[in-house]
Amino acid sequence: MSELILHHYPTSPFAEKARLLLGFKGLSWRSVKISPVMPKPDLTALTGGYRKTPVLQIGADIYCDTALIARRLEQEKALPAFFPEGQEMIAASFAAWADSVVFQHAVSLVFQPESIAVRFGTLPPEAIKAFIADRTELFSGGSSTKLSTEQAKHQWPTIMSRLELQLQREQGDFLFGEPSIADFALAHCLWFLKATPVTAPLVDAYPAVAAWHARVLGFGHGAFSEMTSEEALEVARTSQPAALPDEQFVDPNGLKAGQQVVIAATDYGVDPVAGELLFAGSEELIVRREDERGGVVHVHFPRFGFRIEAQ
């Protein structure tokens, strides 16, 4: 069986989400460190252009976006579940809200000048400039709009008071009683805020939330060992992609398997990935592409939040 290979970097909140997902399931994995800024030639050799962090590789199958990574890990090991029976919709919908709305607030709060000064304090000014230029590019061309720090500060008490109340009154230890994907999607946003003393009080001022957050982080990251990006490319090149899902191909816009398509995120990081459409399910899209260094790979994307166009 192929190993789970996570392409990520330590300070990425969505990578922390993926690491916690692996820890919760008690899975063993290999860790490939990637750059937080472009270019990322070894990563894009696998994805075909998708640059966001993290990416999960299993042999010659490449999974983009943590929303889909969670579903793939659920297939790998069903229990404990991210989508507990009877809570599939509520858990996935809350997670999508946290990953977009709460994350957008966290980004705006973390990148306020007082917090940046602490976070990037030891970095040379050119590195800070390069990082800001990279993120400006990342957020260009998609539907995501910048939330001002004033608006993020203004709305933050509403988000946190609602969570505090929910967690105080909840019978179980997690957002919806038992753990679910909702907990991990919210936790990584708060983990981002907890990284500096400037923004940590935005979490710590809410005791039930802070206690819940510690419980979620307590799942840890599972057992992992390092792998180089060259080794990961070698794994892709020497593996066969997995069989396609046993689900009906559905494309409401009439796309057919075998067509050349372009797939891209709609919000930010909208770099297109071109390939042959192999599968379109209710949750997942799969394209086949061939790379000089990665060989034949199947690249998987969530359907929701990604656009697909015939080429």
Give the binding range for ligand GSH (CB under 6 A) out of 7-15, 145-153, 160-168, 193-201: 7-15
Give the binding range for ligand GSH (CB under 6 A) out of 10-18, 25-33, 88-96, 209-217: 10-18
138 vs 280 by CB, closer to ligand GSH:
138
Q: Which of 4, 6, 7, 14 binds ligand GSH (CB under 6 A)?
A: 14
Q: Which of 4, 6, 7, 12 binds ligand GSH (CB under 6 A)?
A: 12
36 contributes a contact to ligand GSH by CB under 6 A: yes
Q: Least distance (Å) from ligand GSH to the CB of residue 99?
A: 6
14 vs 29 by CB, closer to ligand GSH:
14
12 vs 229 by CB, closer to ligand GSH:
12
d(CA 240, CA 243): 9
d(CA 141, CA 305): 14
66 vs 180 by CB, closer to ligand GSH:
66
DSSP annotation of 12 reads -
d(CA 272, CA 263): 6
Give the binding range for ligand GSH (CB under 6 A) out of 6-14, 72-80, 158-166, 209-217: 6-14
d(CA 265, CA 100): 13
In the three-class reduction of DSSP (H, G, I as helix; E, B as strand; rest coil), residue 295 is classed as strand
Q: Which of 45, 62, 67, 308 binds ligand GSH (CB under 6 A)?
A: 67
66 contributes a contact to ligand GSH by CB under 6 A: yes
Q: Cβ distance 53 to 15 under 8 Å? A: yes
Q: What are the C-alpha distances in Å from 42 to residues 178, 183, 226, 241?
A: 38, 31, 16, 18
The residue among 48, 32, 195, 12 whose CA lies nearest residue 109 is 195
In the three-class reduction of DSSP (H, G, I as helix; E, B as strand; rest coil), residue 152 is classed as helix
Q: Residue 217: CB partners within 8 Å, gap ≥ 6?
A: 20, 187, 191
Q: Which of 138, 278, 280, 308 binds ligand GSH (CB under 6 A)?
A: 138
Tokens of 107: 């980004």
In the region spanning residues 98 to 127, those forming contacts with ligand GSH, defined by CB under 6 A, are 99
Q: Least distance (Å) from ligand GSH to the CB of residue 167?
A: 23
Q: Least distance (Å) from ligand GSH to the CB of residue 69?
A: 7
14 vs 176 by CB, closer to ligand GSH:
14
DSSP letter string over 14-66? HHHHHHHHHHHHT-EEEEEE--SSS--HHHHHHHSS---S-EEEETTEEEESH
Q: Which of 23, 48, 222, 269 binds ligand GSH (CB under 6 A)?
A: 269
The residues with which 262 forms a beta bridge, in sequence order, are 274, 309
d(CA 274, CA 259): 11
Number of residues that bind ligand GSH (CB under 6 A): 13
d(CA 192, CA 181): 18
67 vs 297 by CB, closer to ligand GSH:
67
Q: Least distance (Å) from ligand GSH to the CB of residue 299?
A: 14
144 vs 164 by CB, closer to ligand GSH:
144
Q: What are the C-alpha distances in Å from 216 to residues 100, 183, 185?
A: 19, 7, 10
- Contact set with ligand GSH (CB under 6 A): 12-14, 36, 51-53, 65-67, 99, 138, 269
